[in-house]
Every structure is written in C-alpha cells, then in structure tokens.
Amino acid sequence: MKNVLNNEAYLGNLIQNQTGSLSYKDKTTIRKPETDWICHENAFDAIISPEVWDAVQEINRLAKFRSINNAAPQPHLFTGKLICADCKGQLLANRETQHRKNGDVRKYVSYFCGRYANSGRSACSRHGISEIKLKKLVMAEIKARAEALEFDETAVLDMLKKKDVSRRHPTSGRYPAGGRQAAPPYSGA
Ligand SMILES: [Zn+2]
C-alpha cells in the first residue's frame, strides 16, 4: 500500500527517467536522483486527489522522522499496577495523539483492558482511563490520607495495622498472591 501511495502515477502524473544504467559499460540498473526525473503532470486521470496525495506524503515524512528519533520506550507510570474491574486482566498503556481543531497536537497516555486489546469485545470492554485522570485520583487519595493522618494519627495507624494483619495468611504470616481478600459468598437478598 505504501508503494502505491508513493507512486505518483496514482496522482495522474507520469514520471520517466527514474532509473537508468550506471554507465554505458556497466549496465547495472540504478535509481536516478529526483532532479533527473522527467515529470508529466496530469498525464492521465488521477486516482487520488492532490490533497490526499499531499497528506499521505506528510504522514510518510513524519513516520520517517519518528523512526529516526525513536528513543527507547519509556515505562509508563501505572504499567503493571492496574487491573481491569471486569476480567481482572492487566490494563495496558497506550500513547495517543490528539489533533485539535486549532492545530495543536497533544500526546497523552491512557490505559485500557489488555484482554479487550487482544480479543476485542467478546473478551471484555475497553475500560479506558487517561493517565491524567488517574494521576488526579491517586493524588486526591494521597492528600485525603495525609489529611486524615494529620487529624488523627493514632486512628489511621490502627486502621493500617488492622489492614496489614487481615491481608496476611493466618498461618504462614505471608501475604497471599494478589494481596486482596476474596469477597464473602453471596448470601442472597
Ligand atoms: Zn477487562
């Protein structure tokens, strides 16, 4: 597809003299520099519009630029720490780019269900959340706990101690895998 979209013939322009031999002795085919090309504009009806053509060239240019500047992937803040509420699978981080009407381009990270990402709607729902929103939620939680601690330190420490004990295995004293307690069996209503 990329070659199709790089081929100016799809724009209705015919380009000649793109390739030639190395010299009259060496008949190895070489690709000639763009300056040697002979371009006949509108030689036949365009398959795609010049606007679409320009947009595709811009996308290709940016893709090339990105691969040159490809830095090692950065681990995301909440990777490995988020679990889908429905299927208990891990949430995956995804970099997204938002093109605004005023021309601004914003990049942000969001997380969504990994099972949904791999198997689609039959496996789970998207359950997407942006990193900005998550940061705000976590900050609010930290702030609330810090305030509670200031208000009544002993009560908070007691509460944390109790939580700590209840999370440990009754005999081994070890934390169970996952660290969460199973919900009590449903008793009916
Ligand atoms: Zn899920």
Domain limits for position 9? 2-68
Same domain, 60 and 10: yes
Same domain, 37 and 104: no
Taking the centre of ligand 1 as the mean of its atom positions, its distance from the CA of residue 83, in whole angstroms, is 8
Q: What tens digit of pLDDT does each residue of 85-126 get?
A: 999 999 999 888 888 889 888 888 899 999 998 898 899 998
- Given a cut of 50, whether residue 63 has pLDDT beyond it is yes
Same domain, 119 and 158: yes
Instruction: Look at 69 and 161; give whichever has higher pLDDT.
Output: 161
**Both structure tokens of 91:** 């949430």
Q: What tens digit of pLDDT does each residue of 19-31 get?
A: 777 777 777 788 8
Supply the pLDDT for residue 113: 93
Q: Which of 41-45, 150-154, 169-173 has the lowest mean pLDDT?
A: 169-173
Same domain, 63 and 95: no
Taking the centre of ligand 1 as the mean of its atom positions, its distance from the CA of residue 185, in whole angstroms, is 22
With respect to residue 182, please indicate whether it lies within any of the assigned structural domains: no
Taking the centre of ligand 1 as the mean of its atom positions, its distance from the CA of residue 160, in whole angstroms, is 29
Taking the centre of ligand 1 as the mean of its atom positions, its distance from the CA of residue 121, in whole angstroms, is 9
pLDDT bucket at 180, cuts 50 / 70 / 90:
very low
Kindly give the pairing relationship between strand 38-40 and strand 14-16.
antiparallel
SS3 at position 110 = strand
116: left (phi over 0), alpha (psi -120 to 50) or beta: alpha
Taking the centre of ligand 1 as the mean of its atom positions, its distance from the CA of residue 172, in whole angstroms, is 32
Instruction: Look at 150 and 85; give whichever has higher pLDDT.
Output: 85
With respect to residue 138, please indicate whether it lies within any of the assigned structural domains: yes
How many domains, the chain? 2
**Taking every pair of C-alpha atoms in the chain, what is the biggest distance, in angstroms?**
93
With respect to residue 80, please indicate whether it lies within any of the assigned structural domains: no
